[in-house]
Structure 1
Amino acid sequence: MWSISSRSSSSHCCSHPALSPGASSCEDVNMKRSSANTTIGILLLAAILVLINMIANTEFVRLDLTDGKIFTLSRASKSVVSNLDDPLTVKVFASRNLSPQLNDVKRFLNDLLAGYRAYGKGKFYYEFIDPGSDEKLEKEAQEYRIPPFQENVWNKDKLELKKVYLGMVFIYGDKQEVMQTVQTTAGLEYNITSIIKRISSQQSRKVGFLTGHGEPSPFDDMKQSESVLESNYQVTTVDLAAEDEVPDDIDALLVIAPESEIPDAEKLKIDQYIMKGGPVGWFFTQVKTDIQNATAINMPLKIDAWTQNYGFRVNTDLVADLNCSMVNIQQRVGYFTMQNQIKYPFFPIINTFNKTHPVSRDLEVITSFFPSSIDTSSPGVGVRITPLMFTSEKSMIETGRYNIMATRKFTSAEFDRAHIPLAAALEGSFTSYFAGHDIPVGDDDKPLIEEGDLIRQSPDSTRMVVIGDGNFIRDDYLTNPANVFLLLNTVDWLVNDTELITLRTREVAMRQLKDIPDSQKEIWKYINWF
């Protein structure tokens, strides 16, 4: 560590040790100096490490060398925890002797919570409690509805089934939220930040699903999507046949796969909701399909003029793609019925996304089911339109007579289209459809709204998202969890609350550290002690 370059008498006298009577004493001097230098170096290194440790006790510092920065608290999490109005306490009930896998989860959780505390401005607290050490603590875990679970643990070279705890409760004022078990690090930061955001919010935003025209029910046909959506929003249905207008407490309206025409009176109510700045998600299926019977017919929706007024149209067609999912089919082979998997181009796999827009930039793969193309060529004045996702370079559009048989033999020449847009985001000031059309009348033959009361222009910040697929989040089609991310991202963007979008689809890509020279291994070993 230390080098001596000055010419001293000692170095001179030891230049010929065999001839010098003082050679032995010179060697002793050099050895003593070398030993002293080594001692000083070790002491300096120890002092530096102690200083770093002291700083780390007051400032949250972590060296994160992973590709996805999975050990670094995201900007969204920092923002959420730093805006707490009141103290939030997290009690983690964790057994002491866990399996190596769960122990890694426990260690990751501890580091994660330390990050929240560092950015919580003195309002985030957490503690680890071992319920197995005291009956009172075990009873406390039960009171918070945190159950034990069984796991295999090695004990004296024997594999034993052991009751363990690893769960936590979030306490904010008189509110409580529980994560009953934590058995993986995947999505852990997103789940924690979602809970903090939800439990500390003064009010929950409400998402309305239009109903009354054959739409799938969020509570019956989209249970998986509704369950995930409900973690951040209140979910309700909106029946405009029974309402004078879209209720004021609806923060976003979703129009998903109607099967019959929406009456003009209800179109007026949706139009005026938009004119007040209300955001709408349009998920249209323009062709009704039945894969079992291989039938496909156009929907009688009559929405083209209405939606074109706002700047988009979902075309009455079916899009197919060579990059597609598989379906199971039964085929008879002699006396036997065989089940085979074959590629089905009408179920495109989408992996081409707009990487600048919040809704789509962090998505990797979406599966679509009988999608229709989106016409984005004529947005209205003052409306900005951004295509969000596209088919591959080997795609096709089918119109008129459809052949959706699973055994259909496609030719490569049929896939002559590339990057067909299947979704788009619109933002700006929209013009009322009824500014140029007759206002619908009620049962008394009087206009539902006076001409002078019609709102003709929306605020410049009004938002819409259109997707040419009303099937992608239905339970009977939902096979790709990322499809739900697309729904959540859409709703978040519509209500202008995009903090969690990047965190939700954050990639956890583990990377091994590069090999280090042997000369550095001892240094890193000592650093790890601290």
Structure 2
Amino acid sequence: MKTNRKLRFQLFMQNSVFVLLFLALIFLLGYLSHEYHVAQDITQSSRNTLTEGSVNVLKQMKGPVEITVFVSKDEAYRKTINDFISRYQRSKPDIKITWVNPAEEPKLAQDAGIKAEGELVVDFNKRTEHLTPPYVEQDMTNLLVRLSRTNQRAVMYLDGHGERNLIGIKNHDLGEFGRQLQKKGFKLANPDLTIAQGVPTNGAMLVIASPQVDVSEVEAKKIKEYLDAGGNLLWLLDDENTHGLQNIAEYLGLEITPGMVIDLTSAQYGADSKIAFASQYGEHPITKNFMLRTLFPEARMLDARGTDENGWQVSHLVEVAPNGWLETGKIDGKVSFDDKKDIHGPINVAVAMERKYGKKGQRVVVVGNGNFLSNTFVGNGGNLDLGINIVNWLAGDDNLITIQPKPLKDVNISIPKEGWGHFAAQVVFIPVFGVSLGLFQFILPLALLVAGVSIWWRRRKA
């Protein structure tokens, strides 16, 4: 086709418009990428993004967070720290980072009390916490929870009657749960009610964790007076015996049905039938959006009555064993359901109670099981999460009720010792004679290069 000036001009205009549109498209894509950020974590354990619990904590934090990083000018180390903090910045953009080299500003590092290379100083609402390497999401989120907590009152626990101890190390104790509470910013206190005038009113709550011997009348009276004064209570029951606290049960309108929950579906998880798994949770701030599986070994059935006289509003929290029952007879050997004596599931094992008291509310939670928070079982399923949510609600920190972040698991590759799997691993991963013959590192790129040159050469000769 012959070209003339008019045709050349048309081609020039077409090409010019194409170039302008192409540049406009590039500019628009650059603008969109700057204004909007979309990321997808495809790792098996989602280690590049925050868990739901951490995101929820960040959403509750109103105001900027200042993070000062005391680290040398090692660019690789700084990048590692920045990548860790960036995961939080994506959910809370007003997290600001300041880099300080301790070698250049030793006075600043000394005044901040820096003891380790890479130490973080986190400031929020005029409160400060330190975080030292190695950095773990759970530690960082716990730090943010402590900074967010406005209520620093103590979690008090009754002791001296064989209770499950919040600082104990035995299997039946609650020491690990107590340690997690301290990580969340709570303090633990152990008032001696045999000599104290009463239960301190400046505490967040009183925990009664399954006494094994009777509480004295003097102590029971002081606990009753504490409740009369608007105190909050967490009561864990291991059986229908209240051990000297019957007056407290009556005061709360508590109904404890004799017997133990049997859940035959626990066999699916290789567990004993006396371990009951939660089937559903009640409508309550403690269990809102709570979908984790919890388990309650040797659980008891309980309920409570809210009346005009006591003023309690009662909510069922946890129902277990939908296909099980409450065994009211002796449990020795194989058990079976007796429709004349036993109660068919689901069985309620926890209640939350609330009422108005003066200008503030009063809250009580009673659980027909102490085992679920014991050192043996607190790490199973969502037991710890449920326990933390209960304590947060009792302390009045409803905005901190959330699913707690979980430590991320590392995934290791196991290389077979023989067969084709072993050969494939040698080709892909293992260096031979000091030189890596990795398939993805050298062989595959080299094969693509040879194929590309070959195709180019054939087209050139055609």
Please give the TM-score of this superposition, normalised by the length of structure 1.
0.62
* Cα distance between partner residues in 2 of 1:64 and 1:476: 39
Pairing partner for 2:175 from 213, 220, 223: 223
1:504 aligns with 2:432: no
Pairing partner for 2:25 from 42, 45, 50: 45
1:271 aligns with 2:271: no
Query: Which consecutive unaligned segments of at least 5 residues does structure 2 have?
Result: 409-462
Per the alignment, in what secondary structure is the counterpart of residue 262 of structure 1?
coil
> Contact between 1:355 and 1:362, CA under 8 Å: does it hold in 2?
no
1:144 aligns with 2:114: yes
1:486 aligns with 2:386: yes
Partner of residue 212, structure 1: 160
* Cα distance between partner residues in 1 of 2:391 and 2:350: 14
Per the alignment, in what secondary structure is the counterpart of residue 358 of structure 1?
helix
The aligned runs of 1:412-451 (5 Å cut-off) are 417-429=344-356
How many angstroms does 1:144 deviate by?
A: 2.2
* Cα distance between partner residues in 1 of 2:85 and 2:351: 38
RMSD over aligned Cα atoms: 4.0
Cα gap change, 1:416/1:173 in structure 2, threshold over 3 Å: closer, same or farther? closer
How many angstroms does 1:367 deviate by?
A: 2.0
* Cα distance between partner residues in 2 of 1:280 and 1:256: 11
> Contact between 2:232 and 2:394, CA under 8 Å: does it hold in 1?
yes
Partner of residue 179, structure 1: 131
Query: Which consecutive unaligned segments of at least 5 residues does structure 1 have?
Result: 1-17, 119-123, 148-164, 288-298, 327-340, 430-456, 509-530
How many angstroms does 1:482 deviate by?
A: 2.7
* Cα distance between partner residues in 2 of 1:40 and 1:502: 51
Pairing partner for 1:280 from 233, 238, 248: 233
How many angstroms does 1:409 deviate by?
A: 3.6
Question: Partner amino acid for 2:345?
Answer: A
How many angstroms does 1:65 deviate by?
A: 6.5
How many angstroms does 1:390 deviate by?
A: 0.9
* Cα distance between partner residues in 2 of 1:422 and 1:411: 21
Pairing partner for 1:239 from 162, 175, 192: 192
Cα gap change, 1:366/1:128 in structure 2, threshold over 3 Å: closer, same or farther? farther
The aligned runs of 1:59-458 (5 Å cut-off) are 62-63=37-38, 70=50, 74=55, 76-82=57-63, 88-91=66-69, 93=71, 96-97=75-76, 106-113=82-89, 116=92, 118=94, 125-128=96-99, 144-146=114-116, 168-171=120-123, 176-185=128-137, 187=138, 190-197=141-148, 201=150, 204-220=152-168, 221-231=173-183, 232-286=185-239, 299=241, 301-304=243-246, 306-324=248-266, 342-359=270-287, 361-376=289-304, 378-381=305-308, 382-403=311-332, 408-410=333-335, 417-429=344-356
- Structure showing the higher helix proportion among its residues: 2
> Contact between 1:428 and 1:460, CA under 8 Å: does it hold in 2?
no
1:469 aligns with 2:369: yes
* Cα distance between partner residues in 1 of 2:293 and 2:281: 9
Cα gap change, 1:467/1:136 in structure 2, threshold over 3 Å: closer, same or farther? same
For this pair of structures, how many residues does the alignment match?
390
> Contact between 1:374 and 1:421, CA under 8 Å: does it hold in 2?
yes
How many angstroms does 1:90 deviate by?
A: 3.1
Cα gap change, 1:51/1:500 in structure 2, threshold over 3 Å: closer, same or farther? same
Cα gap change, 1:27/1:348 in structure 2, threshold over 3 Å: closer, same or farther? farther
1:32 aligns with 2:12: yes
Please give the TM-score of this superposition, normalised by the length of structure 2.
0.70
Cα gap change, 1:71/1:402 in structure 2, threshold over 3 Å: closer, same or farther? closer
> Contact between 1:170 and 1:176, CA under 8 Å: does it hold in 2?
yes
> Contact between 2:281 and 2:318, CA under 8 Å: does it hold in 1?
yes
CA offset digits 1:8-58 (Å, max 9, x no partner)? xxxxxxxxxx7xx76x6565344333322222223323444555577x5xx
> Contact between 1:319 and 1:396, CA under 8 Å: does it hold in 2?
yes
* Cα distance between partner residues in 1 of 2:57 and 2:379: 28
How many angstroms does 1:71 deviate by?
A: 8.7
* Cα distance between partner residues in 2 of 1:180 and 1:370: 41
Cα gap change, 1:316/1:103 in structure 2, threshold over 3 Å: closer, same or farther? farther
Cα gap change, 1:507/1:319 in structure 2, threshold over 3 Å: closer, same or farther? same
Question: Partner amino acid for 2:263?
Answer: D
Partner of residue 8, structure 1: none
Stretch moving more, 486-495 or 343-352: 343-352
Question: Partner amino acid for 1:36?
Answer: S
Cα gap change, 1:308/1:174 in structure 2, threshold over 3 Å: closer, same or farther? closer
> Contact between 1:89 and 1:172, CA under 8 Å: does it hold in 2?
no
Per the alignment, in what secondary structure is the counterpart of residue 504 of structure 1?
coil
CA offset digits 1:380-439 (Å, max 9, x no partner)? 223211111111321121224232xxxx3455888972221111111125xxxxxxxxxx
How many angstroms does 1:245 deviate by?
A: 1.0
How many angstroms does 1:251 deviate by?
A: 1.5
Question: Partner amino acid for 1:424?
Answer: V
Identity, % of aligned pairs? 17
Question: Partner amino acid for 1:343?
Answer: A
CA offset digits 1:276-297 (Å, max 9, x no partner)? 221111111116xxxxxxxxxx
Question: Partner amino acid for 1:418?
Answer: G
